[in-house]
Amino acid sequence: PLALVWFRNDFRLADNPALLAAVEAGYDPLPVYIHAPHEEGRWRRGAASNAWLHRSLQALGEDLAQRGSRLILRQGDSDKVLQALIAQSGAQAVYWNRKYEPATQPRDAAIKQSLKEQGLHVQSCNGALLSEPWDLRTKSGGPYKVFTPFYRAAMAQLKLPATGDAPASLPSVPDSLESQTLAQLGLAPALGWDAGFWEARQPGEAGAMEALEVFLDGALHGYVEQRDRPDRVGTSRLSPHLHFGEIAPWRVVQALEARRSAKLAAQIDAYIRQLVWRDFAYHLLHHFPHTVEHNLNPRFEHFNWAKASPSKLHAWQRGLTGVPIVDAGMRELWTTGVMHNRVRMIVASYLTKHLRVHWLQGAQWFWDTLVDADLANNTLGWQWVAGTGADASPYFRVFNPVTQAQKFDPEGRYIAQWVTELAKLPLPARFAPWEKPDLLQRLAPDYPRQPIVDLAQGREDALAAYAASKG
């Protein structure tokens, strides 16, 4: 018998619970990907994500072909495409790994219901998380809003599935089942603006496994000390691979555990803690789906956000604010499709506090430009920095971008790498060039003379708006 295995955001063959369950139940899997961005609502994938998706699907298609199978690509309404495929193939079952976004969760529930009513076997699995959003409850039975108790509960009941290699071979897919070409989905950027994305990253399962190995042999050994340093490769760079399901988080944990030693224990614990932040983000997304657009903390519903002046917003987006660390981060993002976590916090604080622009504007820009754009993590990250979310850093904690740069990019190397016109400026002027107008004029004539908002004034205005929002 045949079963559809509906790939959605789980582009791997190893540790793929839906694929495994179909094979173990004795079905010949028919792998299918349905391109249906209209079903994702406001948060349909942005341009950078699509560029990654294109390559991830290509890799999955090749991995399947190598094993004798084939990825069927279709476009349209998911339910209709599935129905057509069932009619064309005679499949008796449908398997998939769950997604948790508020736009697609009800769709999936409706599809499951109607397929079951037709008498098909339908099974959805956890392919993405260490623990699912409903696995953990507070003592009073509600969802968590604070990370530390969530983390403790998550660690106390962590049960990881065994890892398993990708099947060595898979049954062939009947020729009669047509597929569109990947090019027809129109995901790859036509103008090649994504060239810089692929210098350090390779989409697909093999690229994910490789990134994990590189991390285990390298940055893991100094993760605690280096993870906040944007001028170093101090982290795993796994986020797009995890987002697209090219690697299972439990494989990452098990690979870390296999190396546990007294020397590495603190590094490993710190890393797993970050993976649990990811689960926490999904927990919040599931229990508070409105937070993808609304503040979790209702105090902010009537907050006096500044009207984003198009020129200031544009300056932030393109790294022309005149604040070097902010500009470096925004340019790294534009060129590579990623930004270091510490710098994400700095640029988000600058936008929501110094410029007092609603975090949603920043979240949308990230959504379009990040290759790891992830609705759960992005929403949590923005609401956390803006001070509007769960377990947030309070709004009145305004990052000073100059001291942040001095602390986390002490030699100014990250700034020089991305804001190349400042490379000739000596330290400490590189952190706050407006303080040395003569040097700036002479050595970096193309860089803004002044920040678009005076840092002290921006901070004061933000605090005043916060004080006024009380009550």
Q: How far apart are CA 272 and CA 158, in angstroms?
A: 11
Q: How far apart are CA 228 and CA 343, in angstroms?
A: 9
Which is closer to ligand FAD, CB of 182 or CB of 275?
A: 275
Least distance in angstroms from the C-beta of 343 to ligand FAD: 9
245 φ/ψ sector (left φ>0, alpha ψ -120 to 50, else beta): left
Could you tell me which of 466, 426, 425 has the C-alpha nearest to residue 448?
Answer: 425
Q: Does 281 bind ligand FAD (CB under 6 A)?
A: yes
Query: Of 29-37, 116-124, 190-198, 270-278, which segment contacts ligand FAD by CB under 6 A?
Result: 270-278
Among 129, 130, 242, 357, binds ligand FAD (CB under 6 A): 242
Q: Does 332 bind ligand FAD (CB under 6 A)?
A: no
Least distance in angstroms from the C-beta of 362 to ligand FAD: 7
Q: Does 107 bind ligand FAD (CB under 6 A)?
A: no
What residues have CB less than 8 Å from 88, skipping those under 6 apart? 176, 177
Q: Does 377 bind ligand FAD (CB under 6 A)?
A: yes
Among 7, 43, 334, 366, binds ligand FAD (CB under 6 A): 366
Among 3, 51, 348, 351, binds ligand FAD (CB under 6 A): 348
Residue 213: C-alpha distances to residues 174, 259, 263 (Å):
36, 12, 18
Q: How far apart are CA 187 and CA 55, in angstroms?
A: 9
Q: Would the annotation count 236 as a binding residue?
A: yes
Q: Does 380 bind ligand FAD (CB under 6 A)?
A: yes
Least distance in angstroms from the C-beta of 366 to ligand FAD: 6
Least distance in angstroms from the C-beta of 243 to ligand FAD: 5
Q: Would the annotation count 27 as a binding residue?
A: no
Which is closer to ligand FAD, CB of 343 or CB of 444?
A: 343
Which is closer to ligand FAD, CB of 95 or CB of 367?
A: 367
Which amino acid type is present at position 148?
T
Among 5, 53, 111, 275, binds ligand FAD (CB under 6 A): 275
Q: Give the residue closest to ligand FAD by C-beta.
A: 381
Q: Does 50 bind ligand FAD (CB under 6 A)?
A: no
Residue with tokens 């990452």: 252
Q: How far apart are CA 305 and CA 308, in angstroms?
A: 8
- If 0-12 CB within 10 Å is exposed, 13-18 middle and 19+ buried, where does residue 133 land? buried
Q: How far apart are CA 269 and CA 220, in angstroms?
A: 11
Contact 110, 25 (CB under 8 A): no
Q: Does 211 bind ligand FAD (CB under 6 A)?
A: no
Residue 406: C-alpha distances to residues 162, 316, 347, 427 (Å):
44, 20, 15, 9
Positions at the binding site for FAD:
223, 235-239, 271, 372-374
Positions at the binding site:
223, 235-239, 271, 372-374
Task: Enumerate binding residues for ligand FAD (CB under 6 A).
Answer: 227, 235-239, 242-243, 274-275, 277-278, 281, 341, 344-345, 348, 366, 370, 372-374, 377-378, 380-382, 385
